[in-house]
Structure 1
């Protein structure tokens, strides 16, 4: 089996379930085209049973013949699968609740029903020649012995991939290991983790799953999704390259353009400190850090920002020192005596604190010219 990790993007399905997010077909086409050209392994493009408009949009996406596998999300209901077949997708996801909580208090079904409906739906999809991903909803709260039983039956049925869903985002990395590692060792089907970020551990859980032998991770651009969202595509893609040294088809140089596109379409501003894609994540203002970077950039660089089409940025603020100011003045060809430089540094620190933002070179030059007042 190849060492490559599959990034299965669900921005157009689970991402669209984020409050206030709804994509037009034109927007879906732009996002799908951007992600496919960047190399995502699979695009989960929607839920055909949601209605005629959704079915038509998915059908049009399939006809684009983008260089990626397209899949749909379906309940374990034959009618859902029949709707998916109409779209022409080559892959279908079949979601079945497996925790006793969901079985008893959501669908009012038994564990025996899980095995029966799984067999019926998988057989139906396989007769149509579809790649089948079996999604086990609320797997993070299911009985582990039952999970193994379901996975082994899925293997006999010819399921192509099993998706364990941490539906409520309640797992931690060690919990991922305890719950799933033994199952992965006993079942030969590729496994995927679909993690939610309710406790802020989605990326860590995804990386742990990969270390445990999972082949795939469900991701969305920027972590878009229900409640606190899903595993962010950009975080996993960069971690694969620079932490795990594992190959993935996704071109991380495209992260900036993909995230900017989704941000614009959803009208959701990217938080400044958002890992990988936030405006401030490669910005340095502390005199200690700036001095360390000048001596050797590896002192404060976890990975090169150029690899994700970004650059380091030096700005001045409350914790900037005279060395940084002297460097800036020299680069701009500005001559000032020691008293003037000290006075300017004090003003820079005060203005930065007042504005609640670091100062760009243009701000400081304006101060020198007397156009900036505190």
Structure 2
């Protein structure tokens, strides 16, 4: 039958979302090419990647329910020294508390390859938490699948690389061979009653309609056959995704999500976005995925992950709140506890200007800003950071701080409350002010660091037999 005849015979159906009659314009079948399509026009390796546009716009389509998933113990462990079993369990406890009673952090994925990893999985499962659900990650290998069966996981991620870079150049397969191989492992999972989560690695360099959509259509057929959910994780492995309206796929995040949901028929709640930060777009791309039909956004704590890292979990907590207007039960103060645990117990140094968790993220240093902050902290603080993060706004000390500014710094830095607070007319404040004036009289032009001030405070307290908060 000719294409024109096939088009004329396709059924007309009502779209319940916009109440318009529609005809499916295309039949998406696997394009089993002989040579890899590496989109050399967009990704000329000897040049900076290009972002072309065709001005094809897709509509916003944010699901009613959106959530966060975690890869701290999988992708997050690929770029740092492995966590101990005890550290994994402690962080998992924190994630449970942060996600709140509504399970806003739905799942966390684990490696299964070492005894340490498996011990951590068992200990976390013993906690009995509904959320985050303990899930695994394996390669598309029948040997790896044996590990999932032995532990008794309800869900596992499976690496199903989808770009021709991976299919042809790494796996040395054709698209048909790769698809058949992946589907056989996925069918093995389903036969055991295990829900597969398909990680479409390198989707932002993949042939979306020649491979990704046909593959996802096959997944939906298997889901219907076995009546077991099959999740699709769109993995922006190299951070090439962009959120610009009208950008060309496979770089368009919204274009990818639209294709997976609308043309492959994957339900919102089974689509997940996994982003990397190679081009500083991990957070904006993740939010875009939510806005255009993806329920789950995969993250890691503090963005720790392969190369430039993943989407930071804490960032998406506050993206959610801004989009939905509330936190849906998330306990954001746990974010500060996690940051302190990483620095004190794990020895990981968070860059001081990192939003929400860095030592200086809400510290005002400019003299004119400090003046405004002392009058009303809303002027230079993003929100009530003391309420949501147990991090009161801090005003750095400079030659313009004055006695009040120094007293404010001491009370905030040392978390002094009520009658424990240092007053601006105290001997300690006067001595610090004397030292500050001497520093700037000697030609200093930069603000004083916390370490310098703490050292000064310790020296004065020792010399004058003073104690902070008394």
Shorter-chain TM-score bucket reads: 0.7 to 0.9
> Residue 243 of structure 2 aligns with which residue?
173
2:216 to 151, 158, 174: 151
> Residue 201 of structure 2 aligns with which residue?
137
Q: Quote the Cα distance in structure 1 between the aligned partners of 2:156 and 2:435.
A: 66
CA deviations over 1:92-138 (Å, ceiling 9, x no partner) = 11111100011011111121123323322222222222232111011
Q: Quote the Cα distance in structure 1 between the aligned partners of 2:128 and 2:198.
A: 24
Is 1:61–2:124 an aligned residue pair?
yes
> Residue 33 of structure 1 aligns with which residue?
93
- Residue aligned with 1:98, SS: coil
- Residue aligned with 1:42, SS: strand
Q: Quote the Cα distance in structure 2 between the aligned partners of 1:67 and 1:352.
A: 56
CA gap 1:209/1:314 in 2 versus in 1, 3 angstroms = same
Alignment of 1:308-347 (within 5 A): 308-317=389-398, 321=400, 324-325=401-402, 327-328=404-405, 331-333=423-425, 345=437, 347=439
Is 1:74–2:138 an aligned residue pair?
yes
Instruction: Indicate the RMSD between aligned Cα atoms, in angstroms.
Output: 3.1
Query: Conserved in 2, the CA contact under 8 Å of 1:242 and 1:303?
Result: no
> Residue 301 of structure 1 aligns with which residue?
381
Range that drifts further, 94-103 or 66-75: 66-75
How far apart are residue 26 of structure 1 and its match? 1.8
- Residue aligned with 1:72, SS: strand
Q: Quote the Cα distance in structure 1 between the aligned partners of 2:383 and 2:447.
A: 30
- Residue aligned with 1:270, SS: coil
> Residue 117 of structure 1 aligns with which residue?
181
- Residue aligned with 2:158, SS: strand
TM-score by length of 1: 0.84
How far apart are residue 41 of structure 1 and its match? 1.2
Query: Conserved in 2, the CA contact under 8 Å of 1:92 and 1:132?
Result: yes
Query: Conserved in 2, the CA contact under 8 Å of 1:252 and 1:308?
Result: yes
TM-score by length of 2: 0.68
Give the structure with the higher percent helix.
1
Range that drifts further, 73-82 or 297-306: 297-306
Q: Quote the Cα distance in structure 1 between the aligned partners of 2:107 and 2:440.
A: 49
> Residue 338 of structure 1 aligns with which residue?
none
CA gap 1:55/1:113 in 2 versus in 1, 3 angstroms = farther
Q: Quote the Cα distance in structure 2 between the aligned partners of 1:209 and 1:126.
A: 27
1:5 to 28, 46, 66: 66
CA deviations over 1:338-360 (Å, ceiling 9, x no partner) = xxx89965734858657862664
> Residue 233 of structure 1 aligns with which residue?
313
Alignment of 1:243-282 (within 5 A): 243=323, 245=325, 250-282=330-362
> Residue 38 of structure 2 aligns with which residue?
none
Q: Quote the Cα distance in structure 2 between the aligned partners of 1:136 and 1:249.
A: 31
Query: Conserved in 2, the CA contact under 8 Å of 1:97 and 1:136?
Result: yes
How far apart are residue 177 of structure 1 and its match? 2.4
Q: Quote the Cα distance in structure 1 between the aligned partners of 2:130 and 2:443.
A: 51
Is 1:164–2:256 an aligned residue pair?
no
How far apart are residue 2 of structure 1 and its match? 6.7
Range that drifts further, 341-350 or 73-82: 341-350
Q: Quote the Cα distance in structure 2 between the aligned partners of 1:352 and 1:94.
A: 57
Query: Conserved in 2, the CA contact under 8 Å of 1:59 and 1:88?
Result: no
Query: How many residue pairs get matched?
Result: 359
2:160 to 96, 117, 126: 96
- Residue aligned with 1:239, SS: helix
Query: Conserved in 1, the CA contact under 8 Å of 2:381 and 2:393?
Result: no
CA gap 1:326/1:13 in 2 versus in 1, 3 angstroms = same
Q: Quote the Cα distance in structure 2 between the aligned partners of 1:311 and 1:243.
A: 24
The gaps in structure 2 that reach 5 residues or longer are 1-61, 100-104, 224-228, 245-251, 408-422, 428-432, 465-470
CA gap 1:365/1:347 in 2 versus in 1, 3 angstroms = farther
> Residue 23 of structure 2 aligns with which residue?
none
CA gap 1:109/1:59 in 2 versus in 1, 3 angstroms = farther
CA gap 1:70/1:365 in 2 versus in 1, 3 angstroms = closer
Range that drifts further, 283-292 or 8-17: 283-292
How far apart are residue 85 of structure 1 and its match? 1.7
